[in-house]
């Protein structure tokens, strides 16, 4: 084998084969690099790098900064892995681009009771049948302890030993591709975990004190000695695409990735990923709290060339609408119909306006961006855990409201994302958990409680005493999914399955708003969205999060049917198959442009006559053009150009 390492702090570097202690001196190349051929180390063998002979400050042997596997964790030796040995079966896999995708965020350690790659593989056929197309893995770079979210990773090239060996991860990806599922990985390029980080033993240049970082030392992407640091992270981005056949990355907290140079490191990461894919389609998603829309603009237009951004605005507004709570970072949202309509039409709600929670402006113009660039969600790992008790949304709102908002999420023009277990209303919470050594565990628990104290209700002493300790094993074990609940909560599974089928098979919804979208407020908690199709083949999505609403007069052109047609029910969230209470006729007597008819989940139709519409409370309805009407001359024009959204 051939070894190479950047260690400018050392005058001498040896590779030590373990356990026999055989050492091979590496040759200095200059600029802090050491390299050389190493005999006596076979695939599967263990090794470490020894700096300056270990004569001073004890035996200075450390794991490889680019180790491919740490069988005993970050503090142990590195294992030599042959990246070419695995027999892949996905040679024809084309990858996936962002348009048309449905993302599923998952944490391998809690996805099954076993918490392994091989156990997770068993459940992939069900996710493919559900309609998921992209698996987004929470970070897997190795970290210390027995469990954790993964955001304190320290061995960035080594998938954690907690879930299996490297080939187990490859089997997972290979199986996913065989089922038509893309796999992207959440990577953390804004900091490195506090325990097990040996990078500074090799070089001080990995980190910078020029920037204030929320989680520790900022990565040095633009200061002295930043060249090898940039190379290290660019190589890591390409590594996951090349050696594990991943289909892209989700970049954590990009607002904490600091780089004043050109090209920006994020631009470089995008290029490295595309090049490593060798023609396969890839997906690069960014989490960016300040909502910098330029991230998804092409590099030649001042952007970073990424594909999508998490849309916190959609989540926050939906949560206020569903729960009525607007504490802390929810305080600048009202959850009104107009907010939700605007989020569907325009992506971010804050595009440069004043944001009182942070006492500064938030966001930048994003009008005109393709709608698939906005990743929309009702739940993710952070937001569930931030509820204090780790409660999922079905425990925080009424079932009818949640079904209605789920319809908006899964039929809307953004790229929807589900969090593991959401698809069957998992009873397991999702708490913050991290197994750290004693002193660090106390600090982490204190920091977690202080973070949650921004919510006045969680700062209450009685509630604070109820917060789960991150380092308690029970905090981790309680989060394990029970996939048997897929059958026990079959109505929730059916809701998600049918909505994703409608999204996939209905040409208007599948277009993700390419034909135009417009919306209007119909009541205090009700609104309509119109998705424009070809030649009047439009869809109406009616959402009422409040009480039954009767519309006796309808001076809203978006409710007018296409020329010569009448609206026909296509789908309803109140179908008994989904746990609903039944589908009443939409029209009191017929309503303008409403006709009898029944589509999947639509019920008995609308009746006939000249009354108004009655929108059931806590429900969502989908209407499509039905049979031709006899009053064509009186029906207003609904040309998509008039309502381009």
Active site residues: 252, 287
CA distance 136 to 138: 7
d(CA 280, CA 449): 43
Buried b (16+ CB within 10 A) or exposed e, 513-550: bbbbbbbbbbeebbbbbbbbbeebbbbbbbbbbeeebe
Backbone angles phi, psi at 408, to 5 degrees: -60, -45
Are the CB atoms for 175 and 247 separated by under 8 Å? no
Lookup result for tokens 């680019």: 66
Distance CA 304, CA 645 (A): 26
Residues present in the chain in total: 645
Contact 27, 35 (CB under 8 A): yes
Going by their DSSP bridges, the two strands 415-419 and 374-377 should be labelled as parallel
DSSP at 553? -
Neighbours of 37 (CB within 10 A): 10
* Rounded-to-integer distance, Cα 305 and Cα 303, Å: 6
CB contact at 8 A, 151 and 139: yes
Nearest Cα residue to 234 out of 272, 261, 203, 189: 272
How far apart are the C-alpha atoms of 335 and 317, rounded to whole Å? 4
Helix then strand then coil, in percent of the chain rounded to 5, is 30, 20, 45
Burial of 171 (0-12, 13-18, 19+ CB in 10 A): middle
What order do you get walking across the sheet with 2-6 strand by strand? 2-6, 33-37, 27-30
Beta strands in 130-247, from DSSP E residues, in sequence order: 134-137, 141-142, 155-159, 182-187, 207-213, 216-219
DSSP state of 329: G
- Cα dihedral sign, 639-336-403-432: positive
Q: Which two tokens stand for residue 3?
A: 């070894």
- In angstroms, the first-to-last Cα distance of the chain is 59
């Amino acid at each position: 084998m051939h070894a190479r390492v950047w260690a400018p702090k050392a005058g001498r570097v040896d590779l030590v084969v373990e356990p026999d202690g055989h050492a091979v001196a590496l040759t200095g190349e200059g600029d802090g690099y050491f390299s050389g051929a190493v005999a006596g180390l076979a695939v599967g063998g263990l090794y470490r790098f020894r700096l300056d002979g270990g004569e001073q400050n004890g035996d200075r042997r450390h794991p490889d900064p680019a180790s491919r596997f740490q069988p005993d964790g970050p503090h142990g030796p590195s294992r030599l892995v042959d990246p070419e040995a695995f027999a892949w079966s996905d040679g024809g896999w084309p990858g996936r681009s962002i348009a048309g995708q449905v993302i599923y965020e998952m944490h391998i350690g809690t996805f099954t009771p076993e918490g392994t790659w091989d156990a997770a593989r068993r459940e992939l056929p069900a996710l493919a049948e559900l309609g998921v197309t992209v698996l987004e893995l929470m970070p897997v770079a190795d970290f210390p302890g027995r469990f954790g979210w993964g955001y304190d990773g320290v061995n960035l090239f080594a998938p954690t030993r907690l879930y299996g060996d490297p080939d187990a991860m490859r089997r997972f990806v290979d199986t996913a591709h065989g089922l038509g599922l893309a796999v992207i990985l959440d990577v953390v390029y804004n900091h490195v975990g506090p325990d097990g980080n040996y990078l500074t033993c090799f070089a001080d240049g990995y980190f910078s004190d020029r920037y204030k970082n929320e989680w520790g030392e900022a990565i040095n992407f633009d200061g002295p000695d930043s060249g090898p640091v940039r190379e290290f992270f660019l190589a890591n981005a390409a590594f996951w695409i090349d050696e594990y056949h991943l289909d892209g990355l989700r970049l954590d907290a990009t607002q904490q990735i600091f780089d004043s140079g050109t090209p920006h490191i994020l631009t470089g990461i995008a290029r490295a990923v595309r090049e490593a894919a060798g023609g396969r389609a890839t997906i690069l998603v960014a989490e960016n709290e300040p909502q910098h829309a330029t991230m998804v603009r092409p590099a030649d237009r001042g952007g970073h060339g990424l594909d999508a951004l998490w849309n916190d605005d959609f989540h926050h507004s939906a949560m206020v609408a569903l729960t009525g709570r607007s504490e802390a970072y929810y305080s600048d949202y009202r959850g009104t119909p107009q907010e939700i309509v605007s989020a569907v039409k325009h992506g971010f709600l804050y595009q440069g306006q004043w944001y009182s929670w942070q006492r500064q402006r938030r966001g930048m113009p994003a009008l005109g961006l393709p709608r698939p660039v906005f990743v929309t969600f009702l739940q993710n790992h952070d937001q569930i855990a931030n509820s204090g008790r780790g409660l999922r949304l079905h425990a925080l709102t009424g079932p009818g409201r949640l079904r209605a908002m789920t319809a908006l999420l899964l039929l809307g023009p953004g790229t929807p994302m589900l969090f593991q277990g959401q698809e069957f209303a998992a009873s397991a919470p999702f708490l913050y958990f991290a197994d750290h050594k004693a002193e660090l565990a106390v600090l982490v628990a204190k920091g977690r409680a202080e973070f949650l104290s921004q919510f006045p209700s969680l700062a209450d002493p009685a509630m604070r005493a109820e917060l789960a300790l991150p380092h308690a094993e029970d905090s981790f074990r309680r989060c394990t999914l029970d996939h048997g609940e897929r059958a026990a909560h079959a109505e929730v599974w059916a809701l998600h399955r049918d909505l994703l089928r409608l999204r996939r098979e209905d040409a208007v919804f599948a277009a993700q708003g390419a034909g135009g979208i417009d919306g209007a407020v119909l009541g205090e908690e009700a609104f309509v969205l119109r998705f424009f199709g070809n030649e009047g083949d439009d869809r109406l999505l009616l959402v009422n999060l409040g009480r039954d609403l009767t519309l006796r007069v309808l001076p809203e052109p978006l409710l007018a049917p296409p020329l010569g047609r009448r609206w026909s029910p296509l789908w309803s969230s109140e179908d008994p198959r989904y746990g609903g209470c039944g589908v009443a006729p939409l029209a009191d007597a017929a309503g303008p442009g409403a006709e009898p008819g029944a589509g999947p989940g639509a019920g008995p139709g609308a009746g006939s006559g000249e009354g108004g519409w009655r929108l059931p409370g806590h429900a969502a309805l989908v209407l499509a053009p039905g049979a031709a009407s006899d009053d064509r001359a009186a029906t207003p024009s609904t040309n998509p150009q008039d309502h381009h959204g």
